[in-house]
Structure 1
Amino acid sequence: MSGDTMLLLPVILPFIAGIIIGFINNEKQRNRTVFVTIAVELALVLYVAMGESSLTVWNMTDRLSIAYHIDGIARYFAVLICVIWLLAAVFSMEYMKHENKPARFFMFYVMSLSALVSLCFSANMMTMYFSYELMTLLTFPLVIHSQEPQSVRAGMKYLGYSIFGAGLGLLGFFFLNTYCITTEFAPGGTLNMVLIAGNENLLLSVFFLMAVGFGCKAGMFPLHAWLPTAHPVAPSPASAVLSGIITKGGIICIIRVTFYLFGADFIRGSWAQTAVLVLSLITIFMGSMLAYKEKILKKRLAYSTVSQVSYVIFGLMLLTPVGFTGALLQVAFHAVAKNILFLCAGAIIYKKGCTLVEELRGIGKEMPIVMGCFTIASLSLVGIPPMGGFVSKWFLAQGALGSSVGTLAIVGVAILMVSALLTAGYLFSIVMDGFFPGNTFNYSAVQKREPNYLMTIPLLILSIAVVFFGIFPNCLEIFINNISGVIF
């Protein structure tokens, strides 16, 4: 082992703590341990993120190793993940009272954070692939938590799609190990230009397969079907992090493969760039259409994730600094907004047992704080100022119009606009019926059902963040621009 050993602590702490948590039967002690573990994890991530440290844990061969490194991408994703993981955990402490086996849930919930931080800190392709597979295996129990037949079927679908997608990534790894100078991540890529001469189309095919494979976790067509199946059956806090955070695991891998192994210059102007852009636009439109038609609340939100995460892939595949900025802003604002929406859905299920959209008429009268947060998140996803979602979509549109992808730029902006209208249709209809149920609604039967502080405080913090960073996005923009300045 060589390098800064402090880097290993935030990777192994949640894994060890999660195992211990699984054996704590006392609810208060378990909740306290979960909170302290994730809070300490966040502090550790913030501490190591202040430096540029590296750590090699194990050398398998001279080209294959488990190694970690801190750079801008690692900082951005790791801090975002830990903050949201902590808030969703606080929400879960109340929500899991009406679910079976909460100790098992929190065990895998905390252990999953270990895989995510390992993925963020990965210094090379081997470590990234190992962390990606570990993330899938540790989040699988969250999907099948209820152990009902539909949950098990959904979990197996999630596992099957994820392993297949990871297999495409592994296939690409074999080629990259041959055609790259090193599989260590380096801004601008590490392709050996002498070796790839005459094999450009082969390498572009490899890139396309890897983008599709890792795009599976991000819900990109054609490997998106696991997402709307898994989300409705998982406990709502698990749905929130699956949608808002786990999908970003695929995004991390796409970023590393595109900008740190192949390099933007190699992909720019190629058929592979066009193909992935087309797939992302198909996903954006298809996800919005399916969400618009869906009657089950959590499934509607899942289809929304299918659409919204592909905004990120679209921005990345523009291969421009502005598009990259819009993509990473969308990562943060989607993660926050979608966690709000799924946690709001969880609060509604917890207090009223409603799972269908048609059952939410008048819900704003009974749960005004929850539905107020739902409204803020909806405004952000549509892209209405001053919410954060407006900022990311503005940069995505500007990045498209300033790119060299030709007609796809105009088509892309048009689809973004259509998707925004569809998003307004399937989210604002819930808000309108919730707060303005009409004259036929029995107002005398309204009972206040607002959840307790463990549920409302995380929702309020996330909602404030959406508005604050929508009004003051400069700190995020500057940080992202520093990353793109190194890549481009």
Structure 2
Amino acid sequence: MNGNAIMLFPLLFPLIAGIIIGFQKQEKQRNLLVFITIAIELAVVVYLAGGSNTLVVWQMTDRLSLAYHTDGLAKFFAVMICAIWLLAAVFSFEYMKHEHKPARFFMFYTMALGALMSLCFSSNMVTLYLSYEYMTLLTLPLVIHTGTVEAVRAGMKYLGYSVFGAGLGLMGLFFLNSYCTSTSFVPGGTLDQGLLGGNGSLMLLIYFLMMIGFGCKAGMFPLHAWLPTAHPVAPSPASAVLSGIITKGGVIAIIRVTFYLVGADFIRGSWVQTALLTLAIITVFMGSMLAYKERLLKRRLAYSTVSQVSYVLFGLMTLHPIGFVGALMQVVFHAVAKNILFLGAGAIIYKTEKTYVDQYKGLGKQMPVVMWCFTIASLSLIGIPPTGGFVSKWYLAQAGLDPAYGTLGLVGVAVLMVSALLTAGYLLPIVIDAFFPGKDFDDTKLEKKEPNYLMTVPLVLLSAAVLAFGIFPGGLMQWILNISSVIF
């Protein structure tokens, strides 16, 4: 082992703390341990973001190792994930009172954060693959937590799709090890034309299969079906992080393989770029249409994730600096907004046990804070200023309008616009029914059902972030531009 040993802390600390939390039966002590663990994790990640660290844990061969480093991309994802993970945990302290075995939930919830940090800070493809599988195994208990037949089936579907997708990534690793000078992540890529020889067409096919595999976790067609099955059956805090954060695990893997191993220049203008842009466009439209038709709120939000994360994939597959900026902006704003929506859905279920969208008339009077936060997140997903979602979608559209993409770029932008309209169609009616139930609706007998501060404070803080980054996007934009400038 060499380098900076502090790199191991954000990877191992949640794992060890999670095991201790699992044996803590006292609710207050357990919640305090969870909060302190994630807060310390966030503080350490912020500290690591201020420097450059590298740690080789295990040198397997001269080309393969288990190693970690802190580059701009790793810091970006790690800080975002820890901040949201902490707020969702605070919400969970109240929500999990009506779920069985909360200690088990918080054990795996805390341990999963360590897997995500391992994924973020992975220095090479071997480490990323192991972390990716580690993340799947530790989030599976969150999906099947309720123990119902439906939850177990959904969990097995989640596991099957995830392992198959990761398997495609592992297959690609064998080829990358042969055709790259190194499987370590280097901006611009390490693919060597001399080693590749006449196997360029084969490498394009392998890269395409890897993108399909890692696109599974991101909810991209055709391996998207696990997502609308798994999210509705999990406890709402788990649904929130599965949708807002875990899907970004696939995005991290796609970025690393595309821009740090294979290289954008190798893919640009090929059939693979066209195919992946097409799949992203299809997924954006399909997810929006399915969400529009769905009546169960959590499944509607899950289909929305299928659509919204593919906005990110569309931006990445333009292989354009502006598209890359738009994609990472969308990563942040989708993660924040979708956590608000799923946590809001959880608050509604916790206080009213209502799960279908046609049951929410008058909720704006009963739960005004929750529904105002829900409204802000909805506006962001649609892309209405001054919310953050407008900023990310603006840059994605700018990238798609580049003449280099021709008709496909125009189709992509058109689908983004149609998807925005569909998003308005499946989210705004919920808001309208909540605040304007109609003159025939008697709201005089409605009782206040606002949840306590453990639920409302995280929602308010996340909603404030949506507005703050929408009005003042400069700091976040500069951070992303710094990452982009290294790659392009």
TM range (shorter): over 0.9
One-letter code aligned to 1:163: V
Deviations 1:172-227 (A, max 9, x none): 00100110000000000001111213111101001100001000000000000000
Tell me the residue number matched to 1:79.
Answer: 79
8 Å CA contact 1:318–1:403 kept in 2: the answer is no
Q: In 2, distance between residues paired with 1:7 and 1:412?
A: 40
One-letter code aligned to 2:42: L
8 Å CA contact 1:205–1:272 kept in 2: the answer is yes
**Cα distance, 1:50 vs. partner?**
0.8
Tell me the residue number matched to 2:445.
Answer: 445
After TM superposition, list the pairs within 5 Å mapping 1:229-378 onto structure 2. Answer: 229-378=229-378
Instruction: Give the SS at the match of 1:181.
Output: coil
Deviations 1:10-35 (A, max 9, x none): 11000000000000000000000000
Q: In 2, distance between residues paired with 1:430 and 1:187?
A: 44
Q: In 2, distance between residues paired with 1:48 and 1:369?
A: 35
Identical pairs, percent: 71
Q: In 1, distance between residues paired with 2:258 and 2:330?
A: 18
After TM superposition, list the pairs within 5 Å mapping 1:104-253 onto structure 2. Answer: 104-253=104-253
Q: In 2, distance between residues paired with 1:458 and 1:317?
A: 33
Deviations 1:244-278 (A, max 9, x none): 00000000000000000000000000000111100
One-letter code aligned to 2:400: A
One-letter code aligned to 2:372: G
One-letter code aligned to 2:314: F
Deviations 1:334-372 (A, max 9, x none): 000000000000000000001111111111111010000
What runs of 5+ residues in structure 1 fail to find an aligned partner? none
8 Å CA contact 1:337–1:462 kept in 2: the answer is yes
What TM-score comes out, normalization by structure 1 length?
1.00
**Cα distance, 1:49 vs. partner?**
1.4
Q: In 2, distance between residues paired with 1:325 and 1:172?
A: 26
One-letter code aligned to 1:63: R
Instruction: Give the SS at the match of 2:47.
Output: helix
**Over aligned residue pairs, what C-alpha RMSD do you find?**
0.6
Tell me the residue number matched to 1:476.
Answer: 476
Q: In 1, distance between residues paired with 2:284 and 2:412?
A: 10
Q: In 2, distance between residues paired with 1:385 and 1:376?
A: 10
One-letter code aligned to 2:131: S
**Cα distance, 1:402 vs. partner?**
2.1
One-letter code aligned to 1:142: L
Tell me, yes or no, if structure 1 residue 14 matches structure 2 residue 14.
Answer: yes
Tell me the residue number matched to 1:24.
Answer: 24
8 Å CA contact 1:59–1:65 kept in 2: the answer is yes
Deviations 1:286-323 (A, max 9, x none): 00000000000000000000000000000000001000
Instruction: Give the SS at the match of 1:56.
Output: strand
**Cα distance, 1:445 vs. partner?**
1.8
Instruction: Give the SS at the match of 2:423.
Output: helix
- The runs of at least 4 aligned residues of structure 1 exceeding 3 Å deviation read none
Q: In 2, distance between residues paired with 1:391 and 1:57?
A: 40
What runs of 5+ residues in structure 2 fail to find an aligned partner? none
Q: In 2, distance between residues paired with 1:466 and 1:452?
A: 22
Instruction: Give the SS at the match of 1:454.
Output: helix
8 Å CA contact 1:287–1:307 kept in 2: the answer is yes
Deviations 1:57-114 (A, max 9, x none): 0111111111001001001000000000000000000000000000000000000000
Instruction: Give the SS at the match of 1:51.
Output: coil
**Cα distance, 1:48 vs. partner?**
1.1
Q: In 2, distance between residues paired with 1:302 and 1:403?
A: 33
- The more displaced of 326-335 and 60-69 is 60-69
Q: In 2, distance between residues paired with 1:218 and 1:444?
A: 44
Instruction: Give the SS at the match of 1:444.
Output: coil
